Amino acid sequence: MKPAMPALFALVLAVPAVATPPVPMTPTLEGVADSALRNDTYAWDFVEGITTEVGPRQAGTEAEARGRAWAMRWLKANGFANVADEPFQMETWVPGEARAEIVSPFPQPLAVLALGDTASTGPDGLTAEVVLFRTVDDLRAAPEGSLKGKIAYISHSMTRTQDGSQYGFAGPARWVGAGIAASKGAVATVIKSVGTDSERTPHTGGTDFPQGVAPTPAGALAIPDANNLERMFARAGGKPIMMKLTLTPRSLGMTTSGNVVGEIVGRDPSLPPVLVACHIDSWWNGTGAIDDGAGCGIVAAAAKNVAASGRPLRTIRVLMAGAEETGLWGSKAYSAAHINEPIAVGLESDFGADRIWQFQSNFRDRNPGLHNRIVKAVARFGVSGGTGVASGGADINIVRDQKSAIIDLRQDGTRYFDLHHTANDTLDKIDPVQLRQNVAVWTQVVGILANEPGEILPRQ
């Protein structure tokens, strides 16, 4: 049955066709953000491209240089202006081989990776008794000299948290454990990986030795292997657990790295820009998808989306920092080089590719109007306004150094420490649906900031 045509519809059809083509409408900021939620392609294209065409990008190496060149090509091809690679010098460390095996009483190999900036055992490795410490505090309590000739093993537990706060809780095992053990005479340190997964892929990462303490070899066991080692202690009946550890990292001395920058130039380039940051390097073992290819894809996509809604008032500057993982070399170099060029507000994406759940700023009390406008604008994406004070992250030292305005777009980190600094940091771990929400929120927020005429005053 054919329904009768409603009267109104008939009326519309009766309007004569306009002969001239319609003037293309510039989409609104809300429109481009909503569009990103449905169909982001830029962030995905960036992270797929750099993980596929470059892969691992260890700081200071030729692979990172290829990563920077790739990112510059991508930025230029996507309409960014003033694209550059700003070089800096850095101390470069490369991982070499990594093997651990229990020699007795229960011989078997354990999956291990070297920690950043640690020393080599030499190619023949070293064999020593393992001493178990359940916490860093237990290790701190060990008498001076008591670890002479021993391998310290630090176990600890880390629980998945949405806000990633357990990194601060469990991280010290890696950050300072080897240094403390070395100061008490240990010949090497192994830790349970700082992570929340149960895969045979150890989590590497940086470690620091105190002034005056010579670096020792140090590695992270995969979590199943660490748990196996703890079961060995329980089953050995007091027999010593002997481990052979072969880690052959080395220093390449000073090499050149660089910060990749690019801009969407604003209508008033005299106004301080909005800085959106990420880092281009990764550890050697994964392909740097969630850490931090996705972050670079997100900030670049947001800037490009904002431009699609009309040229913004302020310039949006993208900073893809080099050599973050091995000591924030790029972030520090960028701050040193540009400290006298004020940034209006800075924000970074360096915590994976899952959903944003909270917005917070460091200007809520002095710029409540702007803060609340952002809160309202991102509510439709399921993002709440937080009352904490944003502090930014590793890639925006300059903004902290300038005491400028900062925004944190807090991502869901529940899965992040399953993958962080592991071989499993690969493209397949990115959920495209969550990534699109992330890009949409970033687009909305960066668009508001880049069109804000007034000064943004951070908390004093």
Q: Which residues bind a copy of itself (CB under 8 A)?
A: 48-49, 51-56, 63, 66, 105-109, 111, 198-201, 223-225, 227-228, 231-232, 235, 286-287, 422-424, 426-429
Closer CB to a copy of itself, residue 134 or residue 235? 235
Minimum CB distance to a copy of itself, residue 402 (Å) = 37
Closer CB to a copy of itself, residue 105 or residue 382? 105
Q: Report how far apart, in Å, the C-alpha atoms of 184 and of each of 25, 117, 148 are.
A: 69, 19, 7
Minimum CB distance to a copy of itself, residue 304 (Å) = 20
Closer CB to a copy of itself, residue 222 or residue 344? 222
Minimum CB distance to a copy of itself, residue 310 (Å) = 32
Minimum CB distance to a copy of itself, residue 428 (Å) = 5
Closer CB to a copy of itself, residue 37 or residue 54? 54
Minimum CB distance to a copy of itself, residue 397 (Å) = 29
Closer CB to a copy of itself, residue 232 or residue 298? 232
How many C-beta neighbours within 10 Å does residue 2 have?
A: 4
Whether 257 and 281 have beta carbons less than 8 Å apart is answered as yes
How many C-beta neighbours within 10 Å does residue 292 have?
A: 33
Q: Residues 6 or more apart from 3 whose CB is under 8 A from it?
A: none
Minimum CB distance to a copy of itself, residue 325 (Å) = 17
Q: Report how far apart, in Å, the C-alpha atoms of 29 and of each of 33, 62, 333 are.
A: 6, 39, 33
Minimum CB distance to a copy of itself, residue 427 (Å) = 7
Long-range CB contacts for residues 129-138, cutoff 8 Å, separation at least 24: 129/240, 129/241, 129/242, 129/243, 130/190, 130/229, 130/240, 130/241, 130/242, 130/243, 131/186, 132/230, 132/233, 136/172, 136/173, 136/176, 136/177, 136/180
- b/e for 420-438, b at 16 or more Cβ within 10 A? bbbbbbbbebbeeebbbbb
Closer CB to a copy of itself, residue 169 or residue 233? 233
Please tell me the distance from the alpha carbon of residue 295 to that of residue 21, in angstroms, as a whole number.
40
Closer CB to a copy of itself, residue 70 or residue 175? 70
Phi, psi of 246 (to 5 degrees): -125, 110
